[in-house]
Copies of this chain bind each other. A is one copy, B any other.
Amino acid sequence: MTTSQIFPVVLCGGSGTRLWPRSRATRPKPFLPLVGDTTLFEATLARCDRSAGFAAPVVVTGAAHVDHIEAQLADPAGSQVIVEPSARNTAAAIALAALRLPADAVMLVCPSDHHIADTAAFRRAALAAAGLAAQGWLVSIGIEAKSPETGFGYLQRGEAIDALGFRTARFVEKPDLERAKQFVASGDYAWNGGIFAFGVATFLRELAAHAPAILAAARAAVAAGRSEGHLFFPDAEQFAQAPSISVDYAVMEPTGHKAMVPADMGWSDIGSWDALHSALDCDAAGNAHKGRAELVDCRNVLVDSDGPRVSVIGLDDVVIVVDGDEVLVTTHAGAQKVGKLHGAANQ
């Protein structure tokens, strides 16, 4: 479908508090083995590795995460790591990567803190998206919307393009529950999971058209940047000029060339402890545990302990996390409030 090389562009952004206390400011979510034995970051790289035909990855991150990334990159020397001098949101981060890649390359932009159970389905979608990107489309991989989530943005499907995907009729902000139900029922909507395929030249042209200040700042930051082995440090003063806008707002909504490739690939943003629980292999009663645990008369209980044995009696739909000096016990429904706990908010 395309002869361009596909470069994974892996975004390793902020820390987040919703998986506290396992995730901490100094040990953010992408670098934890939340599902299985590999971290979400390692799994993101493995999905796009060279054996599957991808080019060497470009990781865009902040200085705080570089040590984690160096420790978890399978092939540091064969990768590029762009160290953002400040966090300026996704449009600027992707611009840095685009400016460090060949103009005829295709970028596959991937968040590093999501879980995708079906790697083959992901790769099929990525190849289709890259094919459309090579034709000049700015492509979202649309996550099949299986439930009326109100925490995600949605993509409305337009007319088909070849056999590869569809025009994106529009981006929809996080809807209320009623609209979310309508979206799911219609079958015409997908979740916006933040996975994109862009031709480098196309992306830079559209950025120039719709968010020129971001492109200018990124270009100046790269021009004045410096390399250290596989690390690249954009200039801090120049990069600080970039408006902090997501790629959705800066490019995807305004562009007239947006497309989507629907994908059903066991995706989860692992956005809370109950979402993580859903992504794990559980026993017949819905229970799962990491670390030592004894569960009696429990259903849908997740235990994740870094040491102490956890004994649980009689609970349903609960997550229990032991992490050093912090213990969290929350209902699934309460998991949305984890980020507001004193421990999570005051790290």
Contact = CB atoms under 8 A, between A and B. Distances in A.
Contact of A329 (B313, B324, B333, B338): B313
A241 interface: no
Interface string A301-328: 0000101111111110010101011111
Interface in A163-206: none
Given A324-B308, A325-B308, A330 B313 contact: yes
Contact of A343 (B309, B328, B335, B338): B309
Nearest to A296: B337
Given A294-B342, A294-B343, A313 B325 contact: no
Interface residues of A, number: 35
A307 B335 CA distance: 23
B331 A314 contact: yes
Given A308-B322, A334-B296, A334-B297, A329 B341 contact: no
A320 B313 contact: no
A315 B331 contact: yes
Number of copies: 2
A340 to B, nearest CB: 8
Contact of A311 (B305, B307, B313, B327): B327
A137 B329 CA distance: 53
Interface of A: 21, 294, 296-297, 305, 307-315, 318, 320, 322, 324-331, 333-335, 337-338, 340-344
Given A294-B343, A313-B341, A341-B296, A308 B326 contact: yes
A327 B314 contact: no
B327 A327 contact: yes
Given A310-B328, A313-B338, 12 more contacts: A297-B334, A308-B325, A308-B327, A310-B327, A311-B341, A311-B344, A313-B328, A313-B331, A313-B334, A314-B333, A315-B329, A320-B329
17 contacts: A294-B342, A296-B334, A309-B326, A309-B343, A310-B327, A310-B329, A311-B328, A311-B342, A311-B343, A312-B330, A313-B330, A314-B333, A314-B337, A315-B318, A315-B334, A320-B329, A327-B327
